[in-house]
Structure 1
Amino acid sequence: MTALADQTRWLDATAQAALVRSGEVKASELVEAAIERIERLDPGLGAVTLRYFDQARSAAADGSNGPLAGVPFLVKDLLTDVRGQACTDANVALKAQARPADADSPLVARFRAAGLVLAGRTASSEFGTTPTAESAAWGATRNPWNTALSSGGSSGGSAAAVAAGMVPAAHGTDAAGSIRIPASCCGLVGLKPSRSGARTAVESVMDLIVPSVLTRSVRDTALFLDIARGDEGPAPADGYLAEPGKDPGRLRIGLLDTRIDGSPVHPDCAQAARSAARLLESLGHHVDPGFPAALGDSTLDQLFAAFWSAGMGDLLADVARRLGRDVTASDVEPLNWALGTLAADLSADDRQAASEGVAGFARSVVSWWDDRDLLLTPTQAEPPLPSGTLASDPAEPMAPLLRSTQFAPFTPFVNFTGQPAISLPLHTDTAGLPIGVQLVAAPGREDLLLRVAAQLEAAAPWGERRPGL
């Protein structure tokens, strides 16, 4: 690895942008260093599905005045258009079609305006259904900390790329934990922002999906949140980027360190949450056991199953439109085909009941924050799973989804309620493997999450913990 590729490998996006802005490093040099790292590191990880190296070199040469000018960046290969490039959604049929997009998605346009140099796409599970980055289309993405393990998902390709030091930050999407889970598995910061109109009903799975990024630092997460808002808020220096420096005050924090039904999570995950609770208390916050009682409603499983099935049916209809033909079982992995099949049996009344049920659930859960500031949980109930654990099985097509709910019970509810939540890499197990913790705030309170996250980052820094690749 060249000296510059090595010297910039572990710098966050803010630090890399500062090098370009000062003239110490040219944008073209910074991008070339990232390309070198991707070519060297990715063959053992499988994080980057599509490479835009020629376009990245041209963009770096053209220059930009944005806050992240010259910083190399990767976009998740799911539901996000990049002008002139294909989006495969980790699906074999869409990969074979390889139809280039006519225009950037709005968020990608904002990334470009900020000066980011797009160098490629990152892996996901097919349609982002399971918390892994393994698909029939692209194979498995492996965890840089231990390549026998999954990097989590569905934004697992982005997490692996950032954790390995290929790029300082990468795009992700989160419909049930797909940013927070891989952040936990790979030792990163992963914010799921609030959904716009968080207290209103959601009508489809697409309403649950919130884009964001995976980063190494809280300051990067704050800056990217400002960039994502575009014209909706003030300039980055006046927006969320200012929050990490502010005192959050003395907060009331609930702790959930078991599964919702009271059964234990993996000891390392419980320890991660309890250690974070002690750290928060040492910083002056009040932490005690407590969580929204509505999370334990046993009738919700059937409701959510109907909601997800309906969403897959809609998604497969959109895939058929993109392909220009009917979708068949050979086009889709067994789990998603099974979910789409279930959708065919849902009536309009079933769909309406599911939407209304989700709205009622959201109201019940969010009301808990009337008396609390934050909820603290493990990000997931188990350490990173062995690679292949969530692979599709034609004999048991629903098995990966059922296993996913056991692995990650703490993240999906936040997407239904529209609240912001962040995973922080505060803990490691005895083998040095990252174990994340999740903090959840009331709708619209990203500012509070960033303040507390920065406070925790200063008290227990994680920046020097890196995988041994």
Structure 2
Amino acid sequence: MSPAAPRTVVETAALVRSGELAAREAVAEALARIAELDGDLGAFVHIDADGALARAREIDESVARGDDPGPLAGVPLGVKELHAVAGWPFAMGSALHADRIAGHTSTLVARAVAAGAIPIGATASPEFGRASFTASALHGVTRNPWNRDLTPGGSSGGSAAAVAAGMVPVATGTDGAGSLRIPASYCGLVGFKGTYGRVPRGPYHWGTAENDHYGVLTRTVRDTARLLDCVCGSDEYDRSSLPAPSEPFEDALRPAGLRGLRVAWTPDLGNAPCDPEVAAVVEAAAEKFIAGAGVRRVPADLRLEAACGAAYRTLSVPDVHSELRAAPPGRLGSVHPTVRGYGDAAAALDADALVDAHQTRARLVAALAEAFDRFDLLLTPATQVPAFPAEGPMPAEIAGRPVDHWGALAVTFPFNLSGHPAVSVPAGRAGGAPVGLQIVGRRHADALVLAAAAAVEAVLS
């Protein structure tokens, strides 16, 4: 099945700001599509119809007064359940928090609302976002609108399914190891992970690994740029947050500015197995981009060390432990075995392991700094395997090689460790669902990465 293509973010906002479309109509359309389609997709875990319609009325009244409600005016917004919205359930996909209600709103959501967006409901995540497929004991299985037997990816799978099915034009997501880029890849969307700190994570984000990035999933690069321009900028609640760029991202989508840049392609970052069909489809898209954008292909000459996976896991263990440590012992049986594994690892964590992990991260950052002296953009698949069954598990083998939990994340999580900007943009289809091309740039070269994504979009459209 090929999902429907409703209005984009930019189209919806333009119509609402001009008075040609009432915000309440946009919301009603979104609610109707959710009612029609979500029964067998499982994208949403909570719907706030009353709140959305009330917000829409406020926007319509603003337009009627001659005011401008903002660059996201009337845009229905899905919110990943890892992002708090005051008064909404805040379970984070876990039965441990099934009854919890959020007492605050994420800065990302609050800034989108201030720009005119209308939160519709919460989208599904695996428990605490710790899987690349979206299923949980609390909410069940989320399915891919392109093929309901397959996963939309994870952990932002509910958001990806909602946007791909046309229920909403945009939904928030998180990316701790690929959780924006992998769902974007499997659902034919744009999933951008900015430089670490580009999208603020406040208030009350207590992660210690410094791998988590916030962002959105959309149908177009311009829609992503529009959202970024509304939500980026320093936040006193997030010590890692970066100032807003001097030029709006939406204004920086100039493919002509790419001409002559050095671009490298690698299917595997030097040591990761990659499904041959995925590699062929994505490399063909990369070649079309290189030819169409006038960039220059150069060798990648890059091999990331295998220790990065162990380092990532070590640095992530405390974050999961923070969610589990207060749980009554009798309740831990409801926790997914992968999540429990993090808890077990926390009990065995020592100072040597932490030091080794930080040193591995430092070597990775140095290796990438040297690599970006040789090229300006790095192209890879956004994941090395086609979409797999919706119920999971994650692949245990890729291209005939056995892999662990990190096998299908081997081309995404290194850029969470390093903090580099990376985007997945649709490249074609493999194995019954879409597959994405990942574009990685130097740290803080977010605008360049988005401009390249826009060029890929133009070349392949």
**1:74 aligned to 2:78?**
yes
Number of the residue aligned with 2:446: 446
CA distance in 1, matches of 2:120, 2:346: 37
CA contact (8 A) 2:156 2:174 kept: yes
CA distance in 1, matches of 2:105, 2:144: 29
SS of residue paired to 1:150: coil
- Deviation at 1:291? 4.5
CA distance in 1, matches of 2:102, 2:431: 46
Corresponding residue to 2:282 among 268, 272, 276 = 272
TM-score, normalisation: structure 1: 0.86
- Structure 1's 365 and 197: CA in aligned 2 closer, same or farther, altered over 3 A? farther
CA distance in 2, matches of 1:34, 1:197: 29
Aligned pairs for 1:298-313 (under 5 A) are: 298-313=306-321
What percentage of aligned pairs have identical amino acids? Answer: 36
Q: What are structure 2's unaligned runs of at least 5 residues?
A: 63-68, 200-205, 235-242, 396-401
- Structure 1's 18 and 291: CA in aligned 2 closer, same or farther, altered over 3 A? farther
CA distance in 2, matches of 1:188, 1:348: 40
- Structure 1's 21 and 102: CA in aligned 2 closer, same or farther, altered over 3 A? same
- Structure 1's 436 and 256: CA in aligned 2 closer, same or farther, altered over 3 A? same
One-letter code aligned to 2:225 = A
SS of residue paired to 2:294: coil
CA distance in 2, matches of 1:225, 1:171: 11
Number of the residue aligned with 1:465: none
CA distance in 1, matches of 2:416, 2:394: 24
One-letter code aligned to 1:140 = V
SS of residue paired to 1:380: coil
**1:11 aligned to 2:46?**
no
CA contact (8 A) 2:386 2:431 kept: no
- Deviation at 1:241? 1.0
- Deviation at 1:286? 1.2
Corresponding residue to 2:364 among 341, 361, 364 = 361
CA contact (8 A) 1:84 1:100 kept: yes
Aligned pairs for 1:163-202 (under 5 A) are: 163-196=164-197
Q: What are structure 1's unaligned runs of at least 5 residues?
A: 1-5, 393-400, 462-469
CA distance in 1, matches of 2:394, 2:420: 30
- Deviation at 1:197? 9.2
State the Cα deviation string for residues 245-298 of structure 1 (Å, max 9, x = none): 3522321111112463275523233332233224313421112341533x1x23
- Structure 1's 139 and 366: CA in aligned 2 closer, same or farther, altered over 3 A? farther
CA distance in 2, matches of 1:21, 1:262: 48
Corresponding residue to 1:38 among 30, 34, 39 = 34
CA contact (8 A) 1:257 1:270 kept: no
Number of the residue aligned with 1:124: 125
- Structure 1's 316 and 430: CA in aligned 2 closer, same or farther, altered over 3 A? closer
Q: Tell me the matched-pair count.
A: 431
State the Cα deviation string for residues 194-242 of structure 1 (Å, max 9, x = none): 00399xxxx965411111000001111111111121464379xx51110
One-letter code aligned to 1:239 = P
- Deviation at 1:335? 1.2
CA distance in 2, matches of 1:9, 1:281: 28
CA distance in 2, matches of 1:104, 1:307: 26
Number of the residue aligned with 1:464: none
CA distance in 1, matches of 2:301, 2:319: 28
Most deviating of 123-132 and 416-425: 123-132
CA contact (8 A) 1:131 1:404 kept: no
CA distance in 2, matches of 1:409, 1:370: 22
One-letter code aligned to 1:415 = N
**1:386 aligned to 2:397?**
no
Number of the residue aligned with 1:460: 460
SS of residue paired to 1:69: coil
Corresponding residue to 1:285 among 295, 318, 322 = 295
Corresponding residue to 2:349 among 332, 346, 350 = 346
Number of the residue aligned with 1:211: 214
- Structure 1's 153 and 430: CA in aligned 2 closer, same or farther, altered over 3 A? closer
CA contact (8 A) 1:375 1:440 kept: yes
SS of residue paired to 1:355: helix
State the Cα deviation string for residues 116-154 of structure 1 (Å, max 9, x = none): 100100011111111111111111100000000000010
- Deviation at 1:370? 1.8
CA contact (8 A) 1:390 1:403 kept: no
TM-score, normalisation: structure 2: 0.87
Cα RMSD of the aligned pairs, angstroms, is 2.6
CA distance in 1, matches of 2:272, 2:361: 23
CA contact (8 A) 1:162 1:214 kept: yes
